[in-house]
Each structure stands twice: as C-alpha cells, then as structure tokens.
Amino acid sequence: MSESPRCRVCAGPLREFVDFGRQPLSNRFPLPDRLDDEYFFTLAAGICESCTMVQLMREVPRDRMFNEEYPYLSSGSAVMREHFTEIAQRFLRTRLGEGGFAVELGSNDGVMLKTIADAGVRHLGIDPSDGVAEAARERGVRVWTRFFERSTAEEIVAAEGRADVVYAANTLCHIPYLDSVFEGIRTLLAPSGVFVFEDPYFADVVRHNSFDQIYDEHYYLFSARSVQATAARYGLELVDVERLAVHGGEVRYTLAHAGALTPGTAVADLIAEEDALGLARNETLDAFAADVAAVRDDLVRLLSELRDRGKRVVAYGATAKSATVANYCGLGPDLVEFVCDTTPAKQGRVTPGSHIPVRPAEAFRDPDYPDYALLFAWNHAEEVMAKEQEFRDAGGRWITYIPEVGIL
C-alpha cells in the first residue's frame, strides 16, 4: 500500500478537501484522430495541517506538462499585456539602476521581459517550454530553455552574476519542488535583491468558489501565511503583499533575504484577513467542496436543458482551467458545440479529456452567433465581454459558473 502524501514543503500531514476525479493534462490539446494516448491522473487538493500550504495530492511529471508543445501564450490577453508592461516599468524605475540584472522564471513569450530588453537592461528568462521561449527570442528577449531549480541558479550566478530582481508570474505555483527553487532563489538573489512572484490567491478561490483554479499545473494555491512560512524555511522573508485583480484574484508577494528589508504592515494585515476568513479551517474547506459539487449539478442541469430545447451553446476560451470544469462535469460535444480560442496551437484540436473541438476566435460569429456562450475564460470576463458586445446586442447570453451558475 502506498503511504498517504505528505506536505511537499514541510512533510506535515495533508488533509484532502476536494476531489475532481480523473483528469487529463490541462494544456495538452489532442488532435481529433489521436485521442488514444492521453495522460490522466486523479486531481485532488489538500491542506497541510502543519504549515497551511494548499497543494495537489498527486504530482504530474514536469516534462509531460512543459515541453516544446506547451501551447499557452501569455500575450493572448490585452489586459495581461498591459499588466506586464506596468510591472516591468516599475522594476526599471525602482530596482534596475545602472548595471541592474533581472531574471524571470516562466518568461513564456517574453511579454514582461520585452519592456526590460527594450530599455537595454540586462535580463534573462528561464522557461523549459521551447516553443514559447522561441517566441520570446523573436521579440529580442534572452531566454534559457530549462526548468528553474537550484542548479539553474548556480549556472546563472556563474555565467551572469546575481540578480537584483527575480520575477515569476503564474509560474511558482506550477513548481512542486519549491525546496530546490527557494534554495536557488537564495543563491541567485543579490544581497539587496527582491524575489517578486504573483499567483492565484487561495482566499479568492474560496471566496469566489473559483474551483477551476485547481488543475495539474496549479500544484500550489498560495496564501500569505503559507508563503511566509515557506520563505522562512529558506532564509528568506515575506516583506510585502499586493492584491491583484487579474486572473480572478491573485497576490503579488515580495521576498527578500531575511533581515534585508523591513516587512510592511500589509503582510500582517493580509494574514489577519485570512485568519478571519477561516482559510485553514476544516469547516471552510468542507463548505467550499460542497459549493463546488452544487455548481457541477447546476451547470449540467442548465446545459442539458438548453440542449433539449435545441439551443446552440459554444464555449469561449479554451483555458487550462476549463479542463477541470469540463472533465469534472462530464461536458462534451453533445452539450457544448465547440470552444473558440485565439491560440493557434490549440485550434483544430480538441479539449483535453472532454474532446470538444477548438476553433479560431472568428468561429464565434461565423456564420452566426450561438444562443449561449459558456465563459470558460471567466478570468478575462471584462475584456471578453467588451470585445464581444455585438454578441450580446444580437441577443446572445453568457453562461457563467463562477461563483455560481448564472445567465448574464
């Protein structure tokens, strides 16, 4: 018998609180004639009863997820392009003086580092997925194609010196081996340097019932408390936190070498908020799991009813997170005609596990708008709805399921 999994950070006991059953890789879109070699695993999340880190109960081997076929392009959203330009400009203003050096983990298509590169500032992206890394190079961004871990940090220091800023957006939560990463950060960071990372915020997942933030790549769901505890294990210190509205609610964490910077009051304030919300309490997590099951029942009921009434339903945005919803709810082409998405590498393929065809963005209106659009890209709702106002004007309605099932 295999032992029950222990916390990946502190080896404490894990308490499982939600189980989505058998799930595919969220970012592997098979060709319609190649459906027989999909990889599946059991997707369940638990909380460490010792350090409060929320994490998956099982780990998917990293090479299966991040390789030259990884299709996700960060530049696909105008709001995100703006977001990354802003943080790059902030780094240039406040942290990257003469001779400054910035490193980004998970630099993807170079959406953030491009601004740093254009300013002529020394930089390096680290990303194991060569397709997206190549897209960054085409923009004039320097990238090493590899996984960041302790040995990578040592190589960077030997070749380029220490970094004034290390940044990671929507990447740290993808990396189970945080011990190696944090040891690497301690090696890589200059004495007065900062490690800034931003990821979906577990408190927002619970508050908004955004359960599809849980999928293979989102190995961790961070809170200020769990990040503070993890940083302390590696001689680092959480010195600032900033709430972000992007991707359905994130926190940007700033870490420094322990004692190098004085933590702002925002850290203690956010931890107090988390405690007031009961984020680590069994009752809170059990209520979350019950809400998730209710959304599944409501969504399946609504889509079945629309199908029976002969309505056309398509989905909008073949997001990685929609793999969780589609597979957990058993959605397939019988309930959702197709998903439209702007990402070239997803088009002409089908969604992981659920096998709904993915078509280009233009298919949304061509030849006619559908009656309903299931908003898989709910984290980009404002941007998408503004862009697709004509759909609404033509009588189309949006279906959402976060925080609950509704028609807008």
Residues of this chain that interact with Zn ion (CB under 5 A) are 7, 9-10, 12, 48, 50-51, 53
- Which residues contact ligand TMP by CB under 6 A? 76-77, 317-320, 341-343, 346, 361, 377, 379-380, 383-384, 387
Residue type, 211: F
Q: Cα–Cα distances in Å, from 22 out to 56, 93, 327, 338, 354?
A: 13, 47, 8, 22, 11
Please identify, using beta-carbon distances, which residue of 50 and 85 lies nearer to Zn ion.
50
The verdict on 193 binding ligand SAM (CB under 6 A) reads no
Write the DSSP assignment of 137-158 as a string of letters: HHTT--EE-S--SHHHHHHHHH
Write the DSSP assignment of 329-392 as a string of letters: HT--TTT---EE-S-GGGTTSB-TTT--BEE-GGGGTSS---SEEE-TTGGGHHHHHHHTHHHH
Compute CA 259 distance to the chain's CA centroid, rounded to the nearest angstrom. 30
Least distance to ligand SAM, CB of residue 184, Å: 10
The verdict on 200 binding ligand SAM (CB under 6 A) reads no
171 binds, among ligand SAM, ligand TMP, Zn ion, none (CB under 5 to 8 A by kind): ligand SAM
Residue carrying the six token digits 């619970």: 206
The verdict on 24 binding ligand SAM (CB under 6 A) reads no
Please identify, using beta-carbon distances, which residue of 132 and 374 lies nearer to ligand SAM.
132
Residue carrying the six token digits 């638990």: 46
The verdict on 183 binding ligand SAM (CB under 6 A) reads no
Of 105, 239, 335, 336, the residue at the interface with ligand SAM (CB under 6 A) is 105
Please identify, using beta-carbon distances, which residue of 76 and 264 lies nearer to ligand TMP.
76
Which segment (85-93, 126-134, 309-317, 356-364) binds ligand SAM by CB under 6 A? 126-134
Please identify, using beta-carbon distances, which residue of 144 and 201 lies nearer to ligand TMP.
201
188 binds, among Zn ion, ligand TMP, ligand SAM, none (CB under 5 to 8 A by kind): none
7 binds, among ligand TMP, Zn ion, ligand SAM, none (CB under 5 to 8 A by kind): Zn ion
Least distance to Zn ion, CB of residue 255, Å: 18
Write the DSSP assignment of 267-316 as a string of letters: HHHHHHHHHHHTTT-HHHHHHHHHHHHHHHHHHHHHHHHHHHTT--EEEE
Of 14, 24, 55, 127, the residue at the interface with ligand SAM (CB under 6 A) is 127
85 binds, among Zn ion, ligand TMP, ligand SAM, none (CB under 5 to 8 A by kind): none
The verdict on 319 binding ligand SAM (CB under 6 A) reads no
Least distance to Zn ion, CB of residue 5, Å: 11
Do residues 20 and 324 lie in contact, with contact meaning Cβ atoms separated by under 8 Å? yes
Of 23, 145, 170, 254, the residue at the interface with ligand SAM (CB under 6 A) is 170
Do residues 18 and 289 lie in contact, with contact meaning Cβ atoms separated by under 8 Å? yes
Phi-psi region of 347 (alpha: psi -120 to 50; beta: other; left: phi over 0): beta
Half-sphere exposure of 67 (CA within 13 A, CB side): 8
| Strands of 34-74, DSSP E | 40-48, 54-56
Binding site residues, ligand SAM, CB under 6 A:
66, 70, 72, 74, 105-106, 108, 126-129, 132, 147-148, 169-171, 174-175
